[in-house]
Amino acid sequence: MGFDHRFYSYNTERSANKCLNLIRSNCRWIVAGNHDLFAGERFPSYSNGFEYPHQWFSLTTEERKIASRGKVWSYDGDAPNDLAENDLLFLKSLPEYILASVSGIACLFSHYLFPDFSGSTTRYIERNRHLKGHWEFMNLHGVKFSFSGHSHTSFTGFAYPRKKNGAASFLKAIHSVPSDCFNLGDEMVVILLPPLAGENGRTGFSIMDSDSMSLNIISTNIV
């Protein structure tokens, strides 16, 4: 529900209220992201050791930036929104992740990756070792496919716990693949999806076909 005026040009046309109503009317499962938590004045469950001051949401953007010390997002570019009281209550009620069965396939839906499911810290997954906790979480819950976003990658990103020969897959944790259609296969995989609305770059929504085990990215080209 956040709108960073530094990256978008359609400020007069935006409406967080209409956006949320559209999502609520069309989506079966909804998870909270970092901007949703901030808009709903709700602290994330994970903060990488940062202790949010109780007056966090009443601080100025500059005060939040100083207090956060770069550990969590300070939302210094977020513009005011038009969310009503019932919208804020809904945002407060959202889970940070959902475990669901899709045609018998165990899936994990979250804004980002364990332990920072909401993407509220400024730390991004860059190396394989950063995914250790996420693989453990997936194994614990029998998850086959993990879907998330947050990093606003230009293309769909994939990460696997290991290659078929048992060797670790490069040093880089998540590899972007410039394609619109993927065969998901039978391996456990973490999938980072491109955003529906993002900065200058590729945007789109995603469709998973559980019969053909394929993932299709429908480009919207919103800039």
- Bond from prior residue into 115 cis (ω within 30 degrees of 0): yes
User: Taking 50 as the threshold, does the pLDDT of residue 143 lie above it?
Assistant: yes
Locate all alpha helices (DSSP H) within the chain, ordered by sequence.
16-26, 34-39, 61-68, 85-93, 132-140
Asked if 33 contacts 56 with a C-beta cutoff of 8 angstroms, the reply is no
Whole-model pTM?
0.88
CATH T-level fold of 11-219: Purple Acid Phosphatase; chain A, domain 2 (3.60.21)
Q: Where are the domains of the chain?
A: 11-219
| Gap between the Cα atoms of 9 and 72, Å rounded | 25
The residue ranking higher by pLDDT, 4 or 112, is 112
Amino acid at 198: G
* Average pLDDT of span 52-72: 95
What percent of the chain has a predicted confidence (pLDDT) above 90? 61
Task: Provide the pLDDT for residue 81.
Answer: 87
